[in-house]
Amino acid sequence: MEVDREDGRTQNQLRPLACSRNILHRAHGSASWSQGDTKVLAAVYGPKAGTKKNENPEKACIEVIWKPKTGQTGKQEKEYEMILKRTLLSICILTVNPNTTTSIIIQVVNDDGALLPSAINAACLALVDAGIPMKHLAIAICCVAKSGYVILDPTKLEEQQKMKAFAYLVFPNSVHSVLPEGSLSVQGEPIEHGIITSVTHGTMSVDDYFYCLDRGRAASVKLSDFLRRSLQQHSTDSSKAG
Amino acid sequence: MGLPNAIGDLSTEVEVEAFRRLFPLRFYEKHLSESIRPDARPLGRARDTTIALGAVASANGSALAKIGSTTMLAAIKMEVMTPSMETPDEGCIAIDFHMPPICSPIVRPGRPAEAAPVVSKQLSDTILSSGMINLKELSLVSGKAAWMAYLDIYCLDADGALFDTALLSAVAAFSHLDIPEVSLNDDGKIVLLSEEQEGMSDRESVNKEKRKVTLSSVPFSLTCILHKNYILADPTAEEESIMETLVTVVLDSSSQLVSLYKPGGPVLAYTSAIQDCIALTRQRAKELQKILDEAISGMEVD
């Protein structure tokens, strides 16, 4: 089925991606990520000594601060902070630096749809830039489901008006590993098919959701390649690149 | 509480309670391998659920929902407001979720709970996007007056599955909602018709037929924990703190997916696990619908 999109993209086409690392001098790690007109800056400070109250001191702790483009931090930002924190906790190796806190500051530069996925991608890059030990990267993507077909990476307009339901999905990136083949799959499914994070808005049928998952997985491979390439370009130490 | 088949070097020597506190994860895993949970539930069963409608007399609609010992009190206050320019014939719903210090030892007085704004946002997303309430029904005079429904949910006891209980109490409060009767006065303003005046007043009520909101598709949710290959439905606070991967599925009455919410967590969810969670939620939604229907019919008898 053909779908007309405002900007003339096909339904599986992502907007142009761009990222750069090490753009802030004072931060331990920083990155900017943009897809189309959505742009997000991420800065990482840490690991700093000590954990906050109610956190497990035997593990490293992650703190996320979300700065919106304008206005004050509201409920939406608090929710993003929580999702981002839990997502990053699951990909970092927390036992290497116990009793430390790493702060991640997300600054929204421009929001034109797929904001949370962009922020997750930016935060991952910034964590790599800061040299925080990680198991793998997280690849985030936004899919919009509409009666039987799925479009990827929607703009703000597509998120808000044209479409009924969309899903933010986060997958692990495809791992190049020294471990033997079989150890990277769980019950016959490769590790990159597992969902780290899923957030949906609006009602869709269950089948549409699974269709979103398929499309998201396919697109996450492209994103994963883009991330890996740009990380290898920037760093002379290629072992850093997840 | 007995520990079935205590194996291992330590567990035979240490008391059960001490073992539970020292090695919470191993304690749970021993139970899970026997397909049972420490509170004697099978893995896929939710806790006992009760709904009491009309718990707050001063509110227009209210409900007290309990899942296990997690308790939520939801109350709706209706106020007349001027609708915004963009949506002149729609009312509005404002949802707030409160976690006072009495609900859990983690919440300290003076400091707002971290979970509260997140649950609050999730609730308003779910309720508004599920289309349960047609906002047009809350309109009184197009462009002039519409209802603003303030839904406040108080958590009285936070023992896991906060979102599920909060959503259930919200749905129950809406089904109990009685919209107050109002009329237009001579200046064209909306005034409440209080019960005593009803007979004496010669003014025509504007919303005589619209005293109840129709709930078109009711969303029900179930939170599950993913741990290794196990799926635990309706976790307690203790389980949530030990096994951190939570998946919340919200389905509406026509089995459409309203939300599938998995905020990170150490366990990756594969398609099969997601399907199992959705199947569990389908079952649970039927249970909850029955409990809600019973609560409503119980009210009508009174």
Question: Given a cut of 90, is residue A56 above it in pLDDT?
Answer: no
**A12 found inside a domain:** no
Chain B residue whose CA is closest to A211: B271
SS3 of chain A: helix, strand, coil, percent, to 5: 35, 30, 35
**A201 found inside a domain:** yes
Between chains, do A195 and B257 touch, taking CB under 8 Å as contact? no
Q: What is the model's pLDDT at position A242?
A: 39
Helix axes B271-301, A206-234, angle to 10 degrees: 140
Question: Given a cut of 50, is residue A227 above it in pLDDT?
Answer: yes
The answer, for A220 touching chain B at a CB cutoff of 8 Å, is no
**A4 found inside a domain:** no
Handedness of CA B104, B282, B44, B244 (dihedral sign): negative
Contact residues on chain B for A85, CB-CB shorter than 8 A: 264
**A9 found inside a domain:** no
Share of chain A above pLDDT 70, in %: 87
Q: Which DSSP state fits B269?
A: B
Instruction: Evaluate whether ipTM surpasses 0.95.
Output: no
The answer, for A73 touching chain B at a CB cutoff of 8 Å, is no
Q: What is the three-class DSSP state of B65?
A: strand
Q: What is the model's pLDDT at position B199?
A: 52
Q: What is the model's pLDDT at position B29?
A: 92
Q: What is the three-class DSSP state of B130?
A: coil
The Cα B183–Cα B207 span in angstroms is: 8
Q: What is the model's pLDDT at position B145?
A: 86
Q: What is the model's pLDDT at position B67?
A: 95
Q: What is the model's pLDDT at position A126?
A: 94
Residue-range definition of the domain harbouring residue A164: 17-175+191-241
Q: What is the model's pLDDT at position B10?
A: 56
Question: Given a cut of 60, is residue A118 above it in pLDDT?
Answer: yes
* Overall number of domains in chain A: 1
Q: Are residues A129 and A44 in contact, defined by beta-carbon separation less than 8 angstroms? A: yes
Query: Mean pLDDT over residues A152-169, rounded?
Result: 80
Q: What is the model's pLDDT at position B129?
A: 87
Of the pLDDT bands very low, low, confident and very high (cuts 50, 70, 90), residue A240 is very low
- Distance spanning both ends of chain B, measured CA to CA: 41
Long-range contacts of A83-86 (CB under 8 A, 24+ apart): A83/A116, A83/A197, A83/A199, A83/B263, A83/B264, A84/A116, A84/A119, A84/A120, A84/A123, A85/B264, A86/A197, A86/B244, A86/B263, A86/B264, A86/B265
DSSP B186-246: TTS-EEE--TTTTTT--PPBTTSS-SS--BSS--EEEEEEEETTEEEES--HHHHHHS--E
The CATH number of the domain holding residue A56 is: 3.30.230.70
Question: Given a cut of 80, is residue B11 above it in pLDDT?
Answer: no
| Identity of the residue in B252, B268, B274 whose CB atom sits nearest the CB atom of A203 | B252
Q: What is the model's pLDDT at position A183?
A: 58
**A1 found inside a domain:** no
Instruction: Please give the mean pLDDT across all residues of chain B.
Output: 87
Of A209, A127, A107, nearest in space to A173 by CA: A127
Q: What is the three-class DSSP state of B150?
A: strand
Instruction: Please give the mean pLDDT across all residues of chain A.
Output: 85
Q: What is the model's pLDDT at position A1?
A: 52
**A8 found inside a domain:** no
Q: What is the model's pLDDT at position A5?
A: 79
Q: Are residues A141 and A172 in contact, defined by beta-carbon separation less than 8 angstroms? A: no
Instruction: Give the lowest-confidence range in A24-28, A34-38, B197-201, B260-264.
Output: B197-201
Of A194, A197, A81, nearest in space to B264 by CA: A197
Q: What is the three-class DSSP state of B97?
A: strand
Q: Are residues B94 and B147 in contact, defined by beta-carbon separation less than 8 angstroms? A: no
Better pLDDT: B46 or A231: B46
Query: Mean pLDDT over residues B231-238, rounded?
Result: 94
Tell me how crowded residue A162 is: count the other CB atoms within 10 A of its CB.
16
**A182 found inside a domain:** no
Q: What is the model's pLDDT at position B96?
A: 94
Query: Mean pLDDT over residues A153-180, rounded?
Result: 75
Q: Which DSSP state fits A33?
A: E
Q: What is the model's pLDDT at position A9?
A: 85
Of the pLDDT bands very low, low, confident and very high (cuts 50, 70, 90), residue B151 is very high
Question: How confident is the model over A179-210, as pLDDT tens digits?
Answer: 555 555 666 677 778 889 999 988 888 988 99
Question: Given a cut of 70, is residue B180 above it in pLDDT?
Answer: yes
Q: What is the pTM of this model?
A: 0.89
Q: What is the model's pLDDT at position B139?
A: 86
Question: Given a cut of 90, is residue B112 above it in pLDDT?
Answer: no
- B interface residues, A as partner, C-beta within 8 Å: 106, 114, 117-118, 120-122, 125, 129-131, 217, 229, 244, 247, 252, 255-266, 268-272, 274, 278
Q: What is the model's pLDDT at position A2?
A: 59
Query: Mean pLDDT over residues B93-102, rounded?
Result: 93
Residues in Cβ contact with A183 at an 8 Å cutoff, skipping those fewer than 6 apart: none
**A6 found inside a domain:** no
Q: What is the model's pLDDT at position A108?
A: 95
Query: Mean pLDDT over residues B189-199, rounded?
Result: 64
Question: How confident is the model over B26-47, as pLDDT tens digits?
Answer: 999 999 999 999 999 999 999 9
For chain B, list the domains and their CATH numbers. Answer: 42-177+212-301 (3.30.230.70)
Please give the interface size between A and B, counted as residue pairs whose CB atoms are below 8 Å apart: 103
Which of the residues B228, B271, B274, B281 would you substitute to probe the A interface, choosing the one with the greatest number of A C-beta atoms within 10 Å? B271
Q: What is the model's pLDDT at position B245?
A: 92
Q: What is the model's pLDDT at position A119?
A: 95
Whether residue A180 is preceded by a cis peptide bond, meaning omega within 30 degrees of 0, is: no
- Distance spanning both ends of chain A, measured CA to CA: 37
Q: Are residues A75 and A83 in contact, defined by beta-carbon separation less than 8 angstroms? A: no
- B129 vs chain A: nearest CA distance in angstroms? 5
CA–CA distance from B23 to each of A61, B6, B17 (Å)?
21, 13, 10
Of the pLDDT bands very low, low, confident and very high (cuts 50, 70, 90), residue B141 is confident
The Cα B190–Cα B209 span in angstroms is: 17
